[in-house]
Amino acid sequence: MSEQTFLLPDVGEGLIEADIVTWKVAVGDVVVLNQPLVDVETAKAIVELPSPFAGRVVTLHATEGETIAVDAPLVTIATDDTATAVPAVEHRREPVLIGFGVADESAPVVRTSRRQSGAAAPAAPARSVPVTRGPVRTSPPVRLLAKQLGIDLATVHGTGRDGVVTRADVERLRASAKKVTSGPDIGARFVGRTLSPWQTMAEEERIPMKGVLKTMADAMLSSVRQAPQAAVWLRLDATATMERLASMKADPAYAGVRLSPSVFLALAFVDAARHFPGINSYVDEATNEVVLRRSVNLGIAADTPRGLVVPSIKNADQLSLVEMANALSTLVETARAGTLTPADMAGTTMTITNVGPFGVDAAVPILPPGTGAILCVGQIAKAPWVVNDEVVVRQVVEISMTFDHRQIDGALASAVIAHVGAFLRQPPLTL
């Protein structure tokens, strides 16, 4: 028998630490090769780590919620012929992490108690016994939500494909539970977690600054300390965009394409970069240079169960309307599912944030580090508007843009937001 210690790998590019989200095994469990061991959260994503060894779990070197460094001991497994002799089962194998094989959500977890040396194993009972349910199939964000709500996933009936437990399944069980006598039910979210109802909350609660929360805080502090920021606003009539959008949705040629005002806004912003390349720049403080980029990686701020994340659409300036719509849809779904990769989060050159879905007219966002501009769009709503000296009802929206005033002056920023506004007032026929 020998003991093998699995060290925390670098699951991203240059990451130095990760948080333990959920252990999927316990001390004494017998695990098979590539069986999921633990979900860890980095600054960029939640990653499931499969076991590189087969054997019995001897030590878990960290607890849930603890932060450990890359290359620190994660789990120790005793490997021998007995521990690896786990009955094979037919299952589907899915890739999880390069360098560590594949994970199997349906792999058996065998819990055994330690026996004294020489003790005989108890005889199997003659009567039949209930079959123990294996590990619950679900995604890391759903596991995290269930943990925050105090819900045992083993009690949740999965309605997803192959019995996968979905977020809706967990929320349905929560809704069916006994509610508090007054006030709102559980549901308010803050810094990537679901809070308890006001009536049952502790007088004071302390939340560790780590994971996505720490990354966002560090980025925003770095931004406001290093970059002098200014903003411009524009209120415009977007009726033509909304009419064009409605017409395209009714066109069979666009069947299956998820079209939205955000698609038009993204196209407008990257078109502005083609006309005014200076907006797609940043200041390299290490070399004291302004770096001008002629390729747009368009960041999309997304509200997810983990908090606010900003993945980017690579080479967005080269995409057609349909390609942009598909890229936006895929990016947002991936972000909300918690399956973003470090590559998805890297290399953003310009950013869009949308406060419209929250019923907000406008906002002034903070500039993400390493970028020159961030565009914000509010809700598109009917409002009185003057057309040909007459007051009519139109679809009106307000957009704003924060920019780095070290290399982008007010004239350039105004030209860019005016270009975006002209695009939305009358989308080009070439779309």
For the chain, list the domains and their CATH numbers.
2-111 (2.40.50.100), 212-425 (3.30.559.10)
pLDDT average, residue stretch 213-227: 82
Lowest-pLDDT choice from 178-182, 223-227, 287-291, 363-367: 178-182
Distance CA 149, CA 170 (A): 9
For 263, phi then psi, to 5°, come to -65, -45
CA proximity to 299, closest of 312, 309, 316? 312
pLDDT average, residue stretch 33-52: 82
pLDDT of residue 129: 38
Q: Do 250 and 394 contact (CB within 8 A), yes or no?
A: no
Q: How many CA atoms lie within 13 A of 275 on its CB side?
A: 17
Q: Quick: pLDDT tens for 75-104.
A: 999 987 544 433 333 333 343 333 333 334
Residue 56 pLDDT more than 70?
A: yes
Beta-bridge partner residues of 282: 291
Residue 130 pLDDT more than 50?
A: no
CA proximity to 53, closest of 92, 94, 5? 5
pLDDT of residue 122: 42
CA angle 20–23–27, rounded 5-degree value: 120
What does DSSP say about strands 281-284 and 110-111: parallel, antiparallel, or unpaired? unpaired
Q: Which residue has the higher pLDDT, 114 or 385?
A: 385
CA proximity to 300, closest of 281, 274, 325? 325
Distance CA 221, CA 200 (A): 33
Cα dihedral across residues 271, 274, 279, 281: positive or negative: positive
CA proximity to 97, closest of 29, 212, 10, 23? 10
- Residue 308 token pair: 């606010």
Q: Do 420 and 375 contact (CB within 8 A), yes or no?
A: yes
For 279, phi then psi, to 5°, come to -70, -20
Q: Do 371 and 202 contact (CB within 8 A), yes or no?
A: no
Distance CA 150, CA 158 (A): 17
Q: Do 42 and 11 contact (CB within 8 A), yes or no?
A: yes
pLDDT average, residue stretch 288-306: 90
Residue 107 pLDDT more than 50?
A: no
What whole-number percentage of the chain has pLDDT above 90? 46
* Displacement of CA 404 from its chain's centroid (Å): 26
The size of the chain, in residues, is 431
What does DSSP say about strands 312-313 and 298-300: parallel, antiparallel, or unpaired? antiparallel
What is the maximal distance between C-alpha atoms in the chain? 97
User: 386: buried, middle or exposed (CB in 10 Å: 19+, 13-18, 0-12)?
Assistant: exposed
The confidence band for 249, taking pLDDT boundaries of 50, 70 and 90, is very high
pLDDT of residue 105: 39
Q: How many CB atoms lie within 10 A of CB 187?
A: 11
End-to-end CA distance of the chain: 67
Q: Quick: pLDDT tens for 401-410.
A: 999 999 999 9
pLDDT of residue 290: 94
Side chain identity at residue 95, one-letter code: P
Residue 106 pLDDT more than 70?
A: no
Residue 405 annotated among the catalytic residues of the structure: yes
pLDDT average, residue stretch 27-48: 83
pLDDT of residue 253: 93
Distance CA 146, CA 160 (A): 16
Q: Which residue has the higher pLDDT, 215 or 414?
A: 414
Distance CA 163, CA 215 (A): 34
Most confident of 13-22, 26-35, 121-130, 234-243: 234-243
Lowest-pLDDT choice from 11-15, 50-54, 169-173: 11-15
- Residue 341 token pair: 């990769």
pLDDT of residue 13: 54
Q: Do 349 and 379 contact (CB within 8 A), yes or no?
A: no
Q: Quick: pLDDT tens for 149-177.
A: 778 888 888 888 778 888 888 878 766 65
Q: Report which secondary-structure segment, H or E, holds 393.
A: strand 390-404
Give one word for 71, left, alpha or beta, with left for phi > 0 and alpha for psi -120 to 50.
left
Residue 330 pLDDT more than 50?
A: yes
Q: Distance of CA 192 to CAs 207, 410, 418, Å?
A: 11, 35, 35
Q: Report which secondary-structure segment, H or E, holds 221.
A: helix 212-226
For 409, phi then psi, to 5°, come to -90, 175
Q: Model-level pTM?
A: 0.60
The confidence band for 134, taking pLDDT boundaries of 50, 70 and 90, is low
Lowest-pLDDT choice from 93-97, 187-191, 394-398: 93-97
Beta-bridge partner residues of 31: 55
Distance CA 56, CA 54 (A): 7
